[in-house]
Every structure is written in C-alpha cells, then in structure tokens.
C-alpha cells in the first residue's frame, strides 16, 4: 500500500516547560480536505507551525513516506507544503499582481506567467484588482490573495490557519468553496478552524484538538452528528 500524502505521528511541541501540542497523530490522504478543529488556545497554530518547520517539534512528519521532521521550512515548501498563516502576511504596499508573482519565487523566473492567468481565472476578483495595493483589499479579498499566492508555489498540500477569521458568512462560504474546488483539482488541504460548521461542510475528515491533544476524530458527517462536537463547537443547531 502506498503511504498517505501526509502523516504526522506523535508530534510534540513545548514552549519552555509547557507542552502546547501533545502527541498528535494525523493523516491527510491525497486529494482530501482534513480539518483540525479547536477552541482558542487548543494548539492549532502551534501544530501547523510545527508541521511546516517554523517551530521545532518532536515526532515524525512524513510526506509520501519521506521524513520531513528535520528539514527546514524551505525544503518542506520544495516537497509541496504551503502554509497560509492566520494573519495572511501579504505585502500591503505591493500590488495584488506583485504579491502573486512573489508566490512563485521558488521557480526563480521560470514559469509564473501561466500560473498568474490560472489564478486570475480561479479568483476573478483578484484580476479586477490586480494593480490595487494588497493593503487596501477587503478581508475576504486578502484571504483569496493569500490562497492564490500560496498556489503560485504549486503546493500539493495547502495548510490554512483559520481562513474564516474575521470574514462575513457569505465570504467564509466562498473561501470554503475554493478549498473544495482545489481538492477537486488535486490539491489536498489541512484546514485549521474554529468555525467547525464551515470546516465540516468542506472537509472529508476531522480532528478535534483540546489542550494540545486530539480528543476526537472521524469522518465529517460523523463529527457533525456527534453530540460533543455539536455542543462544544457548533452550538444549538
């Protein structure tokens, strides 16, 4: 059997003596969207940063069977990981188009043009605003630009840290539709969310993180039907 696209086992991260991620095991099969749900402080951002190599971690992190745990961020990018941080981290004083071009930096001038057209086809709003400064975009447009910029690097696994944060429900739905569309195009996603309702609509499988550990996991439909998830994360339906 071939190994899953991405697999983390017994991942642990400590800030000094405090363990913020405690032995997490998760798998993202090829072409799937997997969500990690959890409240404020559950350890979601810490986990993503550890998987990306931004924070030092213990445990095993594998991409198609290859051990990434000791690789620096840029080598994890080279194998196909891409992280869109919660704050989106665009270059506010640069245009939409220049932000996108920077997303293809690892190709050093090779390629890029075709990808830019593909991004404008996928995100027509960005095409309309290609010359506008990124810092003047709306929250939803900024999230779309952050996604498009990540895609310019042709990732195989997109990791998104709370893409719904601060966005209106209609915009959240649009972001989730893009994630689903990308999955259909073969880009898997690891979607970290507090907005369980939105995340479970697009994800195939979910993990619930609490106190840095996975306390519950299952197919999205099962999690939506689970009383504990409904009570804790979805509110009264």
Interface ranges with ligand ATP (CB under 6 A): 15, 20, 38, 40-46, 194
- Counting Cβ atoms within 10 Å, is residue 36 exposed (0-12), middle (13-18) or buried (19+)? buried
Minimum separation from the CB atom of position 192 to ligand ATP (A)? 7
Q: Give CA–CA dist 200/196, Å, rounded.
A: 6
Q: Between 85 and 140, name the residue whose CB sits nearer to ligand ATP.
A: 85
Least Å distance between CB 55 and ligand ATP?
8
Give the nearer residue to ligand ATP in terms of CB position, either 20 or 145: 20
SS3 of the chain: helix, strand, coil, percent, to 5: 40, 25, 35
Contact 152, 115 (CB under 8 A): yes
Q: How far is the CB of 48 from ligand ATP (least distance, A)?
A: 8
Q: How far is the CB of 42 from ligand ATP (least distance, A)?
A: 4
Output the CA–CA distances (angstroms, integers) from residue 65 to 1, 4, 79, in the order listed. 11, 7, 12
Query: Minimum Å distance from CB 203 to ligand ATP?
Result: 17
Strands 213-219 vs 6-15: parallel, antiparallel or unpaired: unpaired
End-to-end CA distance of the chain: 40
Q: Tell me the Ramachandran region of residue 19: left when phi exceeds 0, alpha when psi lies from -120 to 50, beta otherwise.
A: beta
Q: How far is the CB of 176 from ligand ATP (least distance, A)?
A: 18
Residue 5 or 42 with smaller CB distance to ligand ATP = 42
Nearer to ligand ATP, 103 or 206 (CB): 206
Nearer to ligand ATP, 99 or 164 (CB): 164
Backbone angles phi, psi at 213, to 5 degrees: -125, 155
Q: Which residues pair with 142 in a beta bridge?
A: none
Locate 184 and state its tokens.
């259909």
């Amino acid at each position: 059997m071939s190994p899953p696209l991405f697999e983390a086992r017994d991942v642990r991260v400590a800030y000094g003596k405090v363990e913020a991620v405690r032995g997490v095991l998760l798998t993202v099969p090829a072409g799937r969207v997997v969500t990690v749900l959890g409240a404020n402080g559950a350890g979601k951002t810490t986990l993503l940063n550890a998987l990306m190599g931004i924070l030092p971690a213990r445990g095993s992190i594998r991409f198609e069977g290859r051990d990434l745990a000791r690789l620096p961020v840029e080598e994890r990018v080279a194998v196909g990981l891409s992280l869109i941080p919660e704050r989106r981290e665009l270059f506010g004083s640069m245009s939409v188009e220049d932000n996108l071009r920077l997303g293809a930096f690892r190709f050093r001038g090779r390629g890029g043009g075709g990808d830019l057209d593909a991004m404008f086809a996928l995100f027509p709003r960005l095409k309309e605003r290609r010359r506008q400064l990124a810092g003047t975009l709306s929250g939803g447009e900024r999230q779309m630009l952050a996604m498009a910029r990540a895609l310019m690097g042709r990732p195989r696994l997109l990791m998104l840290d709370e893409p719904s944060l601060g966005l209106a429900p209609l915009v959240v739905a649009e972001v989730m539709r893009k994630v689903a569309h990308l999955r259909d195009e073969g880009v898997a996603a690891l979607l970290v969310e507090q907005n369980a309702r939105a995340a479970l609509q697009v994800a195939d499988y979910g993990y619930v993180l609490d106190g840095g550990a996975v306390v519950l996991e299952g197919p999205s439909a099962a999690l939506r039907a689970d009383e504990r998830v409904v009570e804790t994360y979805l509110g009264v339906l």
